[in-house]
Chains A and B, each alone.
Chain A
């Protein structure tokens, strides 16, 4: 086209890209919402974490069935000062503050303490109650006593320990212990043969009580039979009780950390690489202007009706119908080849074709009219016959 038409230059052109100010104004709501959501999330997390931390079994501040808050509260009501300690330093502090002898309950659930710390602990207190100790703890704290599997059930008072006498019957499950050396001053109680659930060992520095039935102290079980009496007597013997559950604060200084082993630039380098990746995203992610949309016309494939019908024939397996369709088409073309009018009947066409091709009339009639295909192979054979007949008729019919 040779003619050209200049579009009018618009003085007040509309720029669709928003300015920085507009982006900020539009985005402020989202930023505020994001901050609110973050605050709520942080708040919820801290609340959930608080309740999760209190879930240590047999902790003095755990009100769950596995905790021992009930016992600690009753002891406090009875005038016993209960200190909860998370480290050996805490124990030391509590013992220093107390006037008079103290009981220390040791429940080393995470197996944190080392031999030196056990020794320190023995020096700190006169009365140490160890709940379900392992072989390693026994070796340090109660030499001569060994683990003897687990035990459980109701135990009658079978020794003259005041706590056991007061309890009369103790019902709980836990660990059993055996006194393996004769040269120690040990008393076994709540026994089952030579296995005991409670062993008191008099050592030069302190009295060590090994209690295998930790469950007897828990909120859930303590009300059963004389469990409460046993617990109160064992732990309430002195004015001060230190409830010591060692934590990772007791771990001694370990080896060098990962940060000390790596060069100082590793983390900044990772940050730099992260920023590089971010830059690449910004570089590739910003497209140059919006996409221009356009309506596309409908596209319909013409052959679809035919294909659909073919599949329908095939699925229904209607061979005779398919063949008859082919026959009708062939008959129309044959009639034209033989010079017959449109109105000619099928038998007329069939006879004319037989005469033209010199074939047997019955055979031609069979192909064109009578034969009924029962298998796909027969259908294919007949369709091939139709093609052959048509080609032959056309060949002979040609002047």
Chain B
């Protein structure tokens, strides 16, 4: 049962008959009228319990986009239901409008559309539908809440997508280059072609040149060997979902930056013909994508990432080499997306690194806090000088951890949240160009 503002208005108007009819009789008459109106309304209101609901929700959507969620309402009762309907979504689903007017005659159906604009990734749920059905006088209403569940998976936004075309172009440039810079352990012979000015003379294939001597005379056609970057390498992305990943840097949790970076690297690597596997890890596997390629890879990655939130526990690095071994026993590029700050906190990571670097190429990617770097340079007053000292201390600590990581044979990529995904992609391209995969 619920009432509208009209009940208050009716009671307030009742002061007139009270004064005019002189006290208690006026009050009694008016109250009787109001009670009668309430009873009539309640009796004649369409039953909200007779409504049947069906949801039609997009199964997934990207954060930052809007999508309609449809709710089909069927009136199985004998009276028209008119009133207000609330489709109750979780607050961060960004449902609008939250209240919708409803007028549904008996044995009819309506579709109520709510626009969802989620503010957070993950599984956003709808719990129930509440209908407040007013009587013909619109004074009193019957109200019922019905459990109608629904969910939409909100995927990470992948803003770093904008860096992909330029990196793909760079990847294509690697193809067919003859420069020794391209050559390395892992580069593969691709084809022979005619020499053009600018090619490295060291890649001339004299034997092929001799064979290609033009029978019709003319000059000597020099032939060079071309190389293409190695293919079918493995890239294993390990994202740390432990306590340090919950920290918010420049209004983005570290884990979200790590997701962006791994999505960009995954997209790039799968285009380059490498096989990408993803592990999200703290003390247990929180998410895993294995054996997917092409467009399927990205879809599965975002789907896995969507529901993972960091937990306030210390990640167990000692198990990571074993996990990587489960994925592949061959040489792979292992990218650890974690945070590098204090030597004490990095002890577990540093202990596990040598095991990884023995067989794999390892890159440790971490977000740096631009606010810390800024604070180190600001020394306007006494308080700021102490802050600068603390910031400098943090930078030095991170530097120590980074050099320790480098000493154990891994590479370190550090950048501000917006720059980390392209920086990691560039590092991957550099490794590929150098044939170090």
Contacts and interface: CB of A to CB of B under 8 A. Distances in A.
Nearest to B387: A310
B421 to A, nearest CB: 18
Given A265-B19, A297-B310, A302-B369, A16 B147 contact: yes
A310 B389 contact: yes
B8 A280 contact: yes
B11 A275 contact: yes
B112 interface: no
Interface in B358-386: 369, 371-372, 375-377, 379, 381-383, 385-386
Interface string B194-219: 00000000000000000000000000
Given A322-B385, A332-B399, A9 B86 contact: no
Interface in B125-163: 125-130, 132, 143-148, 150
Interface string B84-128: 101011111000000100000000000000000000100001111
A268 B375 CA distance: 70
Interface string A188-220: 000000000000000000000000000000000
A306 B392 CA distance: 9
Given A276-B12, A288-B2, A294-B92, 20 more contacts: A4-B57, A5-B57, A7-B56, A9-B52, A10-B54, A13-B147, A14-B146, A15-B145, A16-B146, A17-B144, A20-B1, A264-B23, A282-B3, A297-B120, A299-B253, A306-B393, A313-B389, A314-B383, A379-B382, A383-B385
B389 A323 contact: yes
A303 interface: yes
Contact of A303 (B12, B144, B310, B372): B372
A321 B386 CA distance: 10
Given A306-B375, A307-B387, A292 B89 contact: yes
Contacts of B388: 326, 383
B392 A297 contact: no
Residue among A10, A17, A268 with the highest chain B CB neighbour number at 10 A: A268
B328 interface: no
Contacts, number: 230
Residue among B18, B54, B143, B243 with the highest chain A CB neighbour number at 10 A: B18
- Consensus secondary structure, chain B interface: mixed
A257 interface: no
Given A7-B56, A9-B53, A279-B7, A300 B248 contact: yes
List 6 A-B pairs, minimum CB-CB distance, nearest first. Answer: A289-B130, A9-B54, A322-B389, A310-B390, A329-B392, A7-B55
B377 A387 contact: yes
A273 interface: yes
Contacts of B132: 288
Residue among A283, A309, A310 with the highest chain B CB neighbour number at 10 A: A310
B24 interface: yes
B246 A297 contact: yes
Interface in A246-278: 263-269, 271-273, 275-276
Interface string B390-411: 1111111001000000000000
B334 interface: no
8 contacts: A279-B7, A292-B128, A297-B310, A302-B369, A310-B387, A313-B390, A325-B396, A326-B392
A52 interface: no
Interface in A332-390: 332, 376, 379-380, 383-384, 387
Contact of A9 (B72, B84, B90, B386): B72
Nearest to A324: B389
Contacts of A309: 390, 393-394
Contacts of B394: 305-306, 309
A1 interface: yes
A294 B341 CA distance: 32
A398 interface: no
Nearest to A382: B385
Contacts of A275: 11, 14, 31
Nearest to A273: B15
Nearest to A4: B58
A376 B389 CA distance: 13
Nearest to A316: B386
A1 B49 CA distance: 33
Given A17-B143, A276-B12, A298-B310, A282 B58 contact: no
A267 B26 CA distance: 12
Contact of B54 (A7, A323, A379, A387): A7
B11 A3 contact: no
B312 interface: yes
B355 interface: no
Interface residues of A, number: 69
Interface string B32-68: 0000000000000000010011111111111000010
B31 to A, nearest CB: 7
Contacts of B61: 1
A5 B379 contact: no
B172 to A, nearest CB: 30
A288 B86 contact: yes
B326 to A, nearest CB: 28
A97 interface: no
A20 B249 CA distance: 52
B130 A264 contact: no
Nearest to B72: A9
A329 B376 contact: yes
A100 interface: no
A286 interface: yes
A49 interface: no
B27 interface: yes
B165 interface: no
A302 B18 contact: no
A263 B20 CA distance: 11
A29 interface: no
A283 B52 contact: no
B246 A289 contact: no
Interface string B320-364: 000000000000000000000110000000000000000000000
Contacts of B12: 276
A294 B90 CA distance: 6
Contacts of A280: 8
A268 B11 CA distance: 12
B15 A272 contact: yes
A313 to B, nearest CB: 5
A399 to B, nearest CB: 24
A32 interface: no
